[in-house]
Structure 1
Amino acid sequence: MTKDIVVRPSSLTTFASCPRRWAARHMQDEVRAAGYTLAQGRATHVGAQIGTAVHAAASHTLAEKMRRGGDLGTDADAEEVGIEAFRERVAAEGCDWDTITGDPDTAQKQIRRMSRVWRRSEAAAGNPLMTEERLEAEVRPGLIASGQMDAVMTGDPDASIRDTKTGVSRRANALQYGTYGMILRAHGHNPGEMIEDYLPRVSIRKEQPPVEAHSVDIIAAQEEAWEAIEALAATVEEFRRRCADPNSRPPNMAFRANPADSLCAARWCPAWGTDFCRAHIQAPRSADEKP
């Protein structure tokens, strides 16, 4: 029986930029079972760890609002939830620091002020229908989209999806949001609006910028997501077909590599420099070649 493909909406952007990096991150068991090696897990970048912390504080805030009938609870409680989430993730995964966030003390200061700014933005002003609730839907035969939306807000007449993003720069996330729309429709809700709440991560020597609310065309995003899902499913199926046929072309080549991708580096990709992706493996020098 063919194994279902389970896709996280947030991973579709990775597939679009480099399918082989996507496979190395999200199909590790199958890749290794096919005889390929992958690099061992590396520490998670501090940007992702802070993003997790801010999401935890935001989710706590909305959960309190639902529980208390509109009251957000205290800043201190939400911040502590975020700090604890940060500590747990760093203990489990390590942390790859950068020049904006160079140590745990700096990270915690950033988490506190980012959480506080988020709580005073319109992102926290609506009426939450659900927060951080994982939903799944079969969006095509054999492919399950499994997503955990930051918040679904009640609307008139349609629900709205709000997603918080943090980082040093804003990136395009339409593929993720379009898949969220598909999942929500499968569960009986009509997503009439999609809003990304972007919260910049900046040096603590600078003032924390406010949340930027960006409206996303949910219909166009769903159309783009559908095309990406179709391409992903076809690629995974081709990889599996090649694995089952010893006379076929190399299975890893079913996943197109993109060496020009900005995240094509050992720091970001477990396929980099391995036999699963030889795009950066140099040929051995000949005996008479000068170093």
Structure 2
Amino acid sequence: MPAKAASSAHQTHCPWEMATTPSTTSALTPKPKLPLVARYENIYNLPNILTFSRLLATPLIGYLIIHDQHLYAFALFAYAGFSDLLDGWIARKWHLQTVVGSVVDPMADKALMTTLVGCLAVNGALPLPLAALILGRDASLALAALYFRYASLPRPKTFARYWDFSLPSAEVHPTTVSKLNTFLQLLLIGTTMCVSLLHDAAATASAAGGLLLAVQELLGGPEGVARLVAGGQVVVAATTVWSGLEYAVKREAVKILGDDEALKKKQGVRGRMIIGTTFGSVAALALWLWVTQKGRKKEEEEEGGEDETAV
């Protein structure tokens, strides 16, 4: 057989040898994946500074309420509310939104509300069932936030990286009802603190105290203010339950960052189960407290009526 024909036959009967050519081998070899680079962002801006200042002022406000320094407590509370509006406006105006801000801002709001609700409940200014409902919803969201942070944090999952919020792993998107509930809670707390100012001699002696007394008369005196506060408490309780249920069922409330859609879906379901289980238990506890207090109050009224009849 001629050499050329033998070569042709060899190529025909040995096709596997073509797979050993350099160009074909490089095409079939999988390319190594590039390592994932963690994203960092600048967290040192004015909106975040205002948010952290509100967070630092929170324990001082609680201390002032417990020690009946209502005038100073209300002044700091007013600053906290103003800074909450200001930091959001600045962040939107100058495009300074950060993932850290999306996490710490609602955290500061909840820390403030938790402190105020707890201290006012201790002083008897807020009903215990309502305080349990508000604090229970916030606690369920906090537990879920801890889980979401750990589950969505890129590896390695170290303690230092867990608390390094310049490493974004999840974004919180408060629902419309949640924003309304936060506003109504702040309004109720502010009204309750104003009512407390009416029992503060130093506050009523000031010009602001005189204005509060005039507003109280316009609202029908102490009885009218009491009815207004009671109505606000009912509305806050309803929106608290509504917003808690939304966080338990709405997937858009928390956005987990990453590319593994199946894992993100599983993490979202687990987080919402944490919210639903804990908040449902707290709502049942708040209902039991309300029924118990209602029955106790009815018994006291009946005993008081029997004593008057006996006299």
Q: TM-score, normalised by structure 2?
A: 0.25
Greater share of helix: 2
Q: TM-score, normalised by structure 1?
A: 0.27
Max Rg structure: 2
Greater share of strand: 1
